[in-house]
Structure 1
Amino acid sequence: MPLPSGGTWPPQHLNPIYQHYSVLDAWYRGDPDRLADLYGDPAAHGLPANRPSQYRGGILGKAARWFWGEPTPAGQKQAKVHLPAASDLATMGATLLYSEPPTITVENAATQARINDLLPSLQAALLEGAEVGGALGSYYLRSVWDRAVAEKPWISAVHADACVPEWRHGRLYAATFWRIIQQDDTECLIHLERHEPGYILNGLYRGSPGSLGDQVPLTSRPETKDLSPVVETKLPRCTAVHVPNMRPQRMWRHYPPGAPLGRSDYDDAIIGLMDKLDETWTSWMRDIRNGLGRIHVPSSYLQSQGPGKGAFFDTNREIYEAMNVLGGDDRMEISISQFAIRVQEHKDTQAEILDAILRASGYSSQSFGLHGEVAQTATEVSAKERRSLTTRGVKGLYTIPELQTMLDMHLQLEVALGFSPNITPERPSIVLADSVVPDMLQLAQTVNFLRQAEAASDETLVRMVHPDWDETEVQAEVERIADARPKPAPDPFALPDEMTGPDSGGDPGTEGQDGPQTPESSR
C-alpha cells in the first residue's frame, strides 16, 4: 500500500484516540501550565472567570469542573501545584520489568552471540518503551539501521502517539511512524516511515499543523536525504511490533474495530484521583503561604520616603520614639498574624488518595515507600510488594510474545540484508529478570536443607544459587564441588575378602571346593 498523498494527519478516524493520548501525555509530562491549558484555564486564553463550559455536560463540562479546569481568579497568579504521581507510576512499571536485562537464549551459538551484542541497547529501548507505554498504554518496537552510526541494525522504541497502526484479526499488519522535522505557525515538515510486509516506505511532506500537504523529495532535508523511498526487507511481515502495556483498553474496546490497543496505568478513573491529589497538594502549599508570620502596624509608624514615594516599616529597628496619640496613650500598636498549617490533615488525605491511585493502578504502597515501611529481606519485599509483582507478571505476559516475535524478525532481517550472514534466525526463549534480589542467607539455608535431605543434586543447587550462569559455567562448578568434596575414609573394622583379597592366598577359581573357612583356619 503506498504512502498517503496528503490530507489530515493523523487520520480523522483516529482523532478520539489521539485526543486521549494528549490528555495522558499532559499528566505524564507533569507541566502545570500544560495541564491548565489542556483543561481550559482562562489565564492561558484570556477568558473571563465565568465560563459557559462549566455548565455543560459531556467530556468538556467534566474537565471544566475538575480542579485543573477551575479558572484562576482575576488579578491572581497561577498557584496550582502538581504532584508527579503519573510519571512515578510509569517509571515504576518500567523499572519492575527491565531494571535488570531479560534472559534471552537460543540454541545456535552464533545467534546467541549476536543477541548478547544486541542486549544492552535493547534493554535501554525496552525501558524507554515500557515507561512511555505505561503512560500512553502501548509502544512499538522496530528495526533500524544506518551504517553512518552503527555497523549493524538495532531495535528502537516508538511512542504510541507517533504511529498510525493497521490491524488484521487483532494483530499488527502495518505501521506508519511519523515525526515532525520542523514546525511553525503556518508550515510543518513531516516524515512518514511505513513498515509493511516486505517493504519500508519513506516520504517527506510539507504542509501545516494537522495536515500533510504536498509530498516533497527526501533529499530536500538533511534529516532524510540518505533515506531511500522504498526499501525491500524480503520478509513476509512488517518489521515492527506493537507492545501493549495492559489489556483490555476499557475506553476503546470497539473503536476502531479489531484494534487491540493497550491500557494506560492511569486511565480516566485514576486521572480523576490524580486531579484530587493535586488539589490537596495545592491546598497544603497554600496553608504554608498563609502561615507565614505577618505584622500589622499603624500608618503613623511608617517612615516616609518622600512625597509620592510611599512609606515603609523597618523591622530591624531596635529603638522607637514615643509617639503622642489621642488620649495620651503611648502603647505600641504592633500585632502579629500567624495562621495554623494543617499538616496532619493534608498528609492523611494525600496518603489516602495515593493509596487509592496505587490500588487502581495495580501497585503496592511499599513500591513507592509510603507509610514508612522498610522491608529487610527478599521474602519481606515479595510479601509487601505482592500486588506490584503480580502486575509486573501480567505485563510480562503481554510483552514476552511480542518481544520474541521482534527478535526473530530482526534476526531474519539481518540475514536477508547481509548484515549477519552467519547466524541462524530462531524464535528465542525469554525470561524477565526477577526484580527482587534473593536474600543470600535465606537462599544458603534453603540449599543446605535440600542437601541434607538429599532432595536435590549438585547441579540443581548450583542453578538455584546462580540462575544467570550458562550450561558451561554450571557444569564446571559442579565438577569443582565434586573435586573439593573429601573422599570417604575406609572402615578400619572391615574384613578383607578371604577368597579374593591379597591376604587370602587362595585361588579365586577354587572358591567353594574345600568349603568355607573360619577365621581360625585361615590363620
Structure 2
Amino acid sequence: MPLPDKGTPWPPINPAIWSDLEDWSAWYSANPDRLAYRYLNRHRDGGRFGQPQNRPSQYRGGVVGTIARWFWGEPTPLGEKRASLHMPLARDIARTSSDLLFSEPPTLKAEAKDTQQRLEEVMDLGLKKTLIAGGEVSAALGSVYLRLVWDDQISDRPWISAVHADGAAPEFAYDRLRAVTFWTVLAVDGQKVVRHLERHEEGWILHGVYEGTEDNLGKPIDLGAFAATRNLVPARQLDIGKRLTVSHVPNTVIAPDWRDIPGGACLGTSDYQGAETFLSSIDETYTSWMRDIRLAKSRILVPSGYLTSNGPGLGAAWEDREVMVEMNIPPTSDHQITLNQFAIRHEEHRATIEELVGKVIRNAGYSGNTFGDDSAGSAVTATEIKARTARSMSTRARKAELFEVGIADIVEAQLALEASGLFPGVRGVEVERPEVRFQDSVQDDIKTLAETAELLRRAEAASTETLVALVHPDWDEQDQKAEADRILAQSGRATEDPTAFGADRPDFGDQSGDGAGGQ
C-alpha cells in the first residue's frame, strides 16, 4: 500500500484518541506552560461528544467559572502573575513504571551459539537504554513502537529505536499490527509544516516528505530537499518474509475508553487514563497551600501618624519595614498598632494531597509503598518488600508479558534482516525467535543469600543444585545445573555427599542385590 495521497487530513487518528494523547503528553512533560496552553485550547469532537461549546460560565469569575473549567484552563487575570504550581507526579509514575520493568535489563536467549553472542551485543550496544525510554513513554502515552533503523554512516549493522505513540498511525488486523506510518516534523514556517513519513509494511519500508499545514498533509516533495531524508530510499523491499520491521507494545491489554472506535481497543492506554481530574486537583491544592503561605505573612498595621518623617518628599520610616503596612488613620482614632497573622492550613492541605496522590497511584495500578521512602525503617527481605508492593508487582508482571512479545518480535525481525545479506559484516546469525526473560526487580542481598546457603549446607538440608538455585533465582534450570556441576568438580566430588542421597538408610550399603545389607 503506498504512502498517503496529496491533501490527506493529518494526523490520521480519531480526534478523540488524539485529544487524549495530547492530554497525556502535556501531563508527562511536567511543564506548567504546556499544561496551561493545552487546557486553555482543549477541544474534543469527532462525533462522540459533540462539538465543543463555549459557555459564558467559562469566562465568568467566582465559583461558577472555576467549576466550569479545568484548573489548568483558568486564564490568568490581566496584570497578575500566574501562581499555579505543578507537582510532576505523572512523570514520576512513568519513570517508576520503567524502573520496575528495566532497572534490571531482560536477557535474550537463543539456541545457536553465534546468535546468542549477537543477542548479547544487541543488548549491550543500545537496546537496554531504548527499553528504558520505551517503558517510560509507554506508561505515559499508552504504547510504544520498537523500530529497526540503520545508517551506513553511523554503523554497519541495524539497531532498534523507540517511536512514541503520538507520532504513529497504526493499522491492525484483528489484534495484530499489520502496518504503521510514522511521521516527524522537519520544519515549520508560519502556516507551512513539512513532515517526513515512514511507512512499515510486511517486507517493505516506504519514505516520503510532504509540505502542508498543521491539519493537512499537503503535497509530496523531493526527499533530497532535507538533509535528514537525503540518503533515504523511497521504497525498499526486504527479504525478511512476512515480518514487520516494527513491533507495537501496548501499555495495557485493552483501551477501555476507545472500545467503540475502530482499531482503538488495540492501542493500549496511559497510566494516567481516568486520573486526569485528580492530577489537576493535586496541582490546585498545592497552589492553594502556597497561597495560604503568601497570605499568612506577618503584618503590622500602623497609623501613618506613628511613622517617622524623613523630610518633604522622602516619605516616612518605621523600625521594621518588612512587616509594616501603613494605614491612613488619624493618630487620635481608636485604631492603634495591630498585629495580623493568618493561619496556614498545612495539615488540611497535606491530608488532601496525600489522599489525591494515593488515588492517582492506585488508578495507575501501583502500591503506595512503591513511591514511598522506607529508608528510615529497618532492613526487610525481598519477600516483605513484594508483600508491601503486591499491586505494583502484579502491574509489572502484566506489562512484562506485553513487552516480552514486542521485544521478541522486533529482535527476530532484526536477525532476519541481518541474515538477508543486506549487512555483509554480519556472519553466522541464524534466524530464531529469542526467549525474553525479565529479571526479578526485588532480590535479597547476596550476603544474606550466601549466609542462608552456608547454614543449609552445614545442616545437610539442601543439595548443591538447591543452593545454587537459592543464590541465583534469576538463572534458568539448565544454567543452575551447570553451575552445580562446576562446583562439584572443583570441590573434588563427582557426586553429592552420600548422606544427601540416603547413605544413612540401613540398606544404603547393600551391594549383593538381595537386600540383605552389605555385611
1:75: Cα distance to partner?
Answer: 3.8
* Residues 373-392 of structure 1 aligned to structure 2 (within 5 Å): 374=377, 376-377=379-380, 378-392=382-396
1:450: Cα distance to partner?
Answer: 5.4
Q: What is the DSSP-based 3-state SS (H/G/I as helix, E as strand, rest coil) of the residue aligned with 1:93?
A: helix
Counterpart of 1:503 in structure 2 is: none
> How many Å separate the matches in 2 of 1:441 and 1:473?
19
Counterpart of 1:480 in structure 2 is: 490
The number of residues matched between the two structures is 466
Query: Does the alignment pair 1:152 with 2:162?
Result: no
Query: Does the alignment pair 1:443 with 2:443?
Result: no
Identity value in percent: 42
Work out which of the residue numbers 361, 369, 372 in structure 2 matches 1:369: 372
> How many Å separate the matches in 2 of 1:92 and 1:10?
33
Q: Is the 8 A contact 1:132 1:139 kept in 2?
A: yes
* Residues 205-224 of structure 1 aligned to structure 2 (within 5 Å): 205-224=210-229
1:180/1:374 CA distance change after superposition, 3 Å: farther
* Superposed CA offset, 1:493-521 (max 9, x none): xxxxxxxxxxxxxxxxxxxxxxxxxxxxx
Q: Is the 8 A contact 2:464 2:496 kept in 1?
A: no
For 1:104, the aligned partner's letter is: L
Work out which of the residue numbers 298, 301, 305 in structure 2 matches 1:296: 301
1:185: Cα distance to partner?
Answer: 2.0
* Superposed CA offset, 1:244-283 (max 9, x none): 111221111131247511111010x211111111111111
1:461: Cα distance to partner?
Answer: 2.0
Q: What is the DSSP-based 3-state SS (H/G/I as helix, E as strand, rest coil) of the residue aligned with 1:225?
A: coil
> How many Å separate the matches in 2 of 1:375 and 1:136?
37
1:232: Cα distance to partner?
Answer: 1.8
Q: Is the 8 A contact 1:167 1:258 kept in 2?
A: no
Counterpart of 2:116 in structure 1 is: 112
Q: What is the DSSP-based 3-state SS (H/G/I as helix, E as strand, rest coil) of the residue aligned with 1:409?
A: helix
* Residues 113-128 of structure 1 aligned to structure 2 (within 5 Å): 113-120=117-124, 121-128=126-133
Work out which of the residue numbers 439, 457, 464 in structure 1 matches 2:463: 457
Counterpart of 1:166 in structure 2 is: 171
Instruction: Provide TM-score, normalisation by structure 1.
Output: 0.81
Q: Is the 8 A contact 1:6 1:211 kept in 2?
A: no
Q: Which runs of 5+ in 2 are unaligned?
A: 43-53, 322-328, 499-519
Counterpart of 1:515 in structure 2 is: none
For 1:131, the aligned partner's letter is: E
Instruction: Provide TM-score, normalisation by structure 2.
Output: 0.81
> How many Å separate the matches in 1 of 2:70 and 2:431?
53
* Superposed CA offset, 1:426-485 (max 9, x none): 111111111112134553465356556766531342233134665765543342345599
Q: Which runs of 5+ in 1 are unaligned?
A: 43-49, 318-324, 489-523
1:8: Cα distance to partner?
Answer: 3.8
* Superposed CA offset, 1:314-337 (max 9, x none): 5458xxxxxxx97889x9954332
> How many Å separate the matches in 2 of 1:444 and 1:299?
78
Larger radius of gyration: 1
Compare 142-151 and 12-21 and name the one that shifted more: 12-21
For 1:476, the aligned partner's letter is: R
> How many Å separate the matches in 2 of 1:193 and 1:328?
82
Counterpart of 1:182 in structure 2 is: 187
> How many Å separate the matches in 2 of 1:150 and 1:291?
61
Counterpart of 2:350 in structure 1 is: 347
Counterpart of 1:511 in structure 2 is: none
Q: What is the DSSP-based 3-state SS (H/G/I as helix, E as strand, rest coil) of the residue aligned with 2:218?
A: strand
Q: What is the DSSP-based 3-state SS (H/G/I as helix, E as strand, rest coil) of the residue aligned with 2:120?
A: helix
1:35: Cα distance to partner?
Answer: 1.8
1:372: Cα distance to partner?
Answer: 8.2
Q: Is the 8 A contact 2:108 2:119 kept in 1?
A: yes
* Residues 189-338 of structure 1 aligned to structure 2 (within 5 Å): 189-235=194-240, 236-257=242-263, 259-267=265-273, 269-300=274-305, 301=307, 303=309, 307=313, 311=315, 313=317, 315=319, 333-338=336-341
Q: Is the 8 A contact 1:41 1:71 kept in 2?
A: no
* Superposed CA offset, 1:341-363 (max 9, x none): 12211111111111111111111
> How many Å separate the matches in 2 of 1:125 and 1:252?
28
1:38/1:451 CA distance change after superposition, 3 Å: same
Q: Is the 8 A contact 1:459 1:478 kept in 2?
A: no
For 1:436, the aligned partner's letter is: V
For 2:118, the aligned partner's letter is: R
1:206/1:315 CA distance change after superposition, 3 Å: farther
Q: Is the 8 A contact 1:10 1:164 kept in 2?
A: no
Q: What is the DSSP-based 3-state SS (H/G/I as helix, E as strand, rest coil) of the residue aligned with 1:336?
A: strand
Counterpart of 2:360 in structure 1 is: 357
> How many Å separate the matches in 1 of 2:279 and 2:264?
31
> How many Å separate the matches in 1 of 2:464 and 2:86?
55
1:223/1:340 CA distance change after superposition, 3 Å: same
For 1:247, the aligned partner's letter is: V
Counterpart of 1:506 in structure 2 is: none
Q: Is the 8 A contact 2:66 2:74 kept in 1?
A: no
1:205: Cα distance to partner?
Answer: 1.2
Counterpart of 1:432 in structure 2 is: 438
> How many Å separate the matches in 2 of 1:382 and 1:168?
38
* Superposed CA offset, 1:9-63 (max 9, x none): 5345522211110011111112222222222289xxxxxxx9526399xxxx999
Q: Is the 8 A contact 2:12 2:169 kept in 1?
A: no
1:244/1:51 CA distance change after superposition, 3 Å: same
> How many Å separate the matches in 1 of 2:338 and 2:119?
74
Provide the aligned C-alpha RMSD in A: 3.2
For 1:26, the aligned partner's letter is: A
Q: Is the 8 A contact 2:151 2:158 kept in 1?
A: yes
Q: Is the 8 A contact 1:39 1:64 kept in 2?
A: no
1:149/1:390 CA distance change after superposition, 3 Å: same
> How many Å separate the matches in 1 of 2:208 and 2:194?
11
Q: Is the 8 A contact 2:171 2:263 kept in 1?
A: no
> How many Å separate the matches in 2 of 1:487 and 1:382?
35
> How many Å separate the matches in 1 of 2:312 and 2:192?
56
Counterpart of 1:22 in structure 2 is: 22
Query: Does the alignment pair 1:394 with 2:404?
Result: no
Q: What is the DSSP-based 3-state SS (H/G/I as helix, E as strand, rest coil) of the residue aligned with 1:251?
A: helix
